[in-house]
Amino acid sequence: MQEKQEVIRLENITRHFKVGTEIVKALRSITLTIYRNEFVALMGPSGSGKSTLMNILGCLDTSTSGHYYLNGNDVSKLNDNELAEIRNREIGFIFQTFNLLPRSTALENVMLPMIYAGISKSRRLDRAKEVIENVRLTDRMMHKPNELSGGQRQRVAIARALVNNPSIILADEPTGNLDSKTSIEIMGVLEQIHNAGNTIIVVTHEESIARHAHRIIRLIDGLVAKDEVNKNIFTMADYAHEEVAVDGLS
């Protein structure tokens, strides 16, 4: 049996914020490991610490104490420039609000992380077209965001997240601004990305989204309340069984 490869290891991670004269303990002591090609849902109510944990996992923030190892490297104490480099190279972000440049085409938006990575223009173009094709948006790649539907914009964001072959895909409420049919479509895309070997962490408060994950981590009051294997994984095949029509994914 092949040994699982560790991608993320958190050791006693805390994050405290000073609000006036009070110290808010957003994360109290988080210890967990995420392995390559896992599909993890990170859940919790408002104030549970899930957004704070997401920011630390995404190297958008640093912990007050503890250690965060990404591919064996301790990124807990890196400076802002080093964190920015790690974010661009190792982490693909998918946001609820898409975060696309409004005056740039889908193709240009997807190429952006590669510009920061110093990749040549010809390679940027080839790779961007490749990932746009993977999310089935080739016929829309010269369109700007305001010429795309919500689902198409999220596909562009997914392609952008994939373009640098990151270690993890971090999706923050990826269906939060989408209708139910388009949400199903986007979860189908994430399912395909996971099946291709990618490690995915979805931050969500929706049980219907979390049920797609293979592992569900629930936070309460800055602590891991439950970390369990999802024994009833919901896939696109289940939608087909329920006779939910999803164009292009059925």
Helices (H), the chain: 50-57, 80-90, 106-116, 121-134, 150-162, 180-195, 207-210, 236-241
List pLDDT tens digits, range 128-183. Answer: 999 999 999 999 999 999 999 999 999 999 999 999 999 999 999 999 888 888 99
Whole-number Cα distances in Å, 178 to 169, 183, 208, 217: 19, 6, 14, 24
pLDDT for 118: 86
Q: Which domains does the chain have, with CATH numbers?
A: 6-241 (3.40.50.300)
pLDDT band at 236 (very low <50, low <70, confident <90, very high): confident
pLDDT for 48: 93
List pLDDT tens digits, range 18-72. Answer: 988 999 999 999 999 999 999 999 999 888 999 999 999 999 999 999 999 999 9
User: Does residue 83 surpass a pLDDT of 50?
Assistant: yes
List pLDDT tens digits, range 168-198. Answer: 999 999 998 888 889 988 999 999 999 999 9
* Neighbouring C-alpha atoms within 13 Å toward the C-beta of 135: 31
pLDDT band at 246 (very low <50, low <70, confident <90, very high): very low
pTM of the predicted protein model: 0.89
Pairwise CA distance, residues 4 & 236, whole Å: 26
User: Does residue 100 surpass a pLDDT of 60?
Assistant: yes
pLDDT for 163: 94
User: Does residue 238 surpass a pLDDT of 80?
Assistant: no
Cα 234 from chain centroid (whole Å): 18
Q: CB within 8 A of 19, min separation 6: which ones?
A: none
pLDDT band at 245 (very low <50, low <70, confident <90, very high): very low
